[in-house]
Amino acid sequence: MKIGFLQFKPVLCKPDENIDKIREIILNCKTDHDLLVLPELANSGYLFSSRDEAISASEIIPGGKFCRALSEISKEKNSYIISGICEKAGDRLYNSAVMVSPNGETETYRKTHLFFDEKIWFTAGDTGLNVFEISGNFGKVKVGMMICFDWIFPESARTLALKGAQIIAHPSNLVLSYCQQAMFTRAVENRVFTVTANRTGTEINGDKELYFTGKSVIVDTKGNYLCTAGEDNECILTAEIDPEDALDKNVTSKNNIFEDRRTEFYR
Ligand code: ACM
């Protein structure tokens, strides 16, 4: 199975430009994928200065332009695509991820753990952490979604793994420096594949400025880094994996990471 990420620099509050860039990069990519992961808030950018600004770059799922464009690209490339998206739902905004499939289905995850000023613009997610089965020539594989800062809560990845996720797709806009290294632990402690699709570049809005750390990573169930992107380049990187590796939760012949849990001591 071929999994990958698209690392790029979204333009703040320019969803049409972002769609065009994503379409161009993916359609020009010579490598085929079964699953491709894009960064957090890939339609809108990140550093809003007002709620109105965030609303202006948001859209409904699945009927909005960005979702429909992703769906078309998914069909054309015969690849599942997971992307971060600024979602409007009634009078609420969510920092969400969508998974679109080549046959036109859409699944949504709304970010559980909001980071810093996201708490001003967004409502905390109400979907919970869920796992979705995807299928194709590669067989049937269970995929979970979490978004950026969700990583710092080990419960996020653990919940997805306990629900059967073999691959954790992790759209991100990372501003702190340690997630990419920490994903080693998330992958190993759950024996899952992780795909952290980060963005690049600096966003400036009024007197606010944020630098995003790039270096998107794919980590396998044993903690090997299969792909690491540069800090500032826009690229698609791809790894060939056997998702069945994630079904084996035995660390030694006497240790199974799920069966050995002592949940009576965890509260
Ligand atoms: C983050 O959660 N975007 C840092």
CA atoms within 13 A on the CB side of 126: 7
List the CATH number of the domain containing 28: 3.60.110.10
pLDDT tens for the 267 residues of the chain, in order: 999 999 999 999 999 999 999 999 999 999 999 999 999 999 999 999 999 999 999 999 999 999 999 999 999 999 999 999 999 999 999 999 999 999 999 999 999 999 999 999 999 999 999 999 999 999 999 999 999 999 999 999 999 999 999 999 999 999 988 999 999 999 999 999 999 999 999 999 999 999 999 999 999 999 999 999 999 999 999 999 999 999 999 999 999 999 999 999 999
Verify whether residue 72 is a known catalytic residue.
no
Q: What is the DSSP string of 86-114?
A: EEEETTEEEEEEEEE-TTS-EEEEE-SS-
Burial bucket for residue 138 (CB in 10 Å: 0-12, 13-18, 19+)? middle
- Position of tokens 């769609």? 19
Backbone angles phi, psi at 202, to 5 degrees: -110, 135
Q: Provide the 8-state DSSP code for 59.
A: B
CA of 174 to the centre of ligand 1 (A): 5
Please report the pLDDT score of residue 177 as a whole number. 84
Protein residues whose CB sits closer than 6 Å to any atom of ligand 1: 40, 115, 148-149, 173-175
CA of 149 to the centre of ligand 1 (A): 5
Backbone angles phi, psi at 79, to 5 degrees: -135, 135
Give the number of the atom of ligand 1 that is nearest the alpha carbon of residue 172: 3
Count of domains forming the chain: 1
Domain of 156 in residue numbering reads as: 2-265
Give the number of the atom of ligand 1 that is nearest the alpha carbon of residue 173: 3
Alpha helical stretches, state H, the chain: 15-28, 51-56, 65-77, 118-121, 154-162, 179-190
User: pTM of the full predicted structure?
Assistant: 0.98
